[in-house]
Amino acid sequence: MEDIQLFGIQPSHRLAITILSIFLFALILELVRRDYLKERYALLWLATSAIGLFVGIIPGVIGQFARVFHFQMITMLFVISFFYVLGIVLGFSIIISKLSERNRRLAQEVALLGNRLEHLEQSRGST
């Protein structure tokens, strides 16, 4: 039974997934420490590495999914990671849209304030 569930995933694969996940975990912590990454977004990536670690240690979980959806193990892995990444990227697009909207308001405000300041300086200069 164990063999069917883990079809296609060798112990060496499990080891690689585990090590990569631990590496990702350490990398994220380091990026946060150096202020390259905000804690807010780091949480997402820490969760990602945790999931990787989980799969590395207990790959049977993927096997269960594969059986439910009638996929090959490796296909299941691919499908899950694809949608996961898709979700992350969509999330980023939403964040970018929000930021660009704020950026627009900020830039317009700066321009309008610059104009006001100029008027103020002129009126002070003339009195």
Partner 1 sequence: MKSRVLVIIPAYNEAESIAKVIQSLKDHVPEYSILVVNDGSTDATEEVVRRFHGVDLINLPFNMGIGNTMQTGYKYALREGFDIAVQCDGDGQHPVQQIAKIVERVEGGDADMVIGSRYVSDTNYAPSFSRRVGKSLLSRIVNSVVGGGITDTTSGFRAANRAVIATFANTYPDDYPEAEALVIMHKHGLKAVETPVDMLPRQGGRSSIGPGRAAYYIVKVSLAIFIGVFKKITHAPGESAEESEAVNAAAFHEETK
Q: Which of 94, 112, 117, 120 binds partner 1 (CB under 8 A)?
A: 112
Q: Is 95 in the site for partner 1 (CB under 8 A)?
A: no
Question: What are 29's two structure tokens?
Answer: 């912590």
The whole-angstrom separation of Cα 127 and Cα 124 is 5
Q: Is 111 in the site for partner 1 (CB under 8 A)?
A: yes
Residue with smaller CB distance to partner 1, 44 or 112? 112
Residue with smaller CB distance to partner 1, 38 or 105? 105
How near is the Cβ of 125 to partner 1 at its closest, in Å? 15
Q: Is 114 in the site for partner 1 (CB under 8 A)?
A: yes
Q: Is 108 in the site for partner 1 (CB under 8 A)?
A: yes
- How many Cβ atoms from other residues are within 10 Å of residue 52's Cβ? 20
Q: Is 120 in the site for partner 1 (CB under 8 A)?
A: no
- How many Cβ atoms from other residues are within 10 Å of residue 22's Cβ? 14
Among left, alpha and beta (phi > 0; psi -120 to 50; other), residue 89 is: alpha
Maximal CA-CA distance, the chain? 91
- CB of 26 within 8 A of CB of 17? no
Binding site for partner 1 (CB under 8 A): 101-102, 104-105, 107-108, 110-112, 114-115, 118
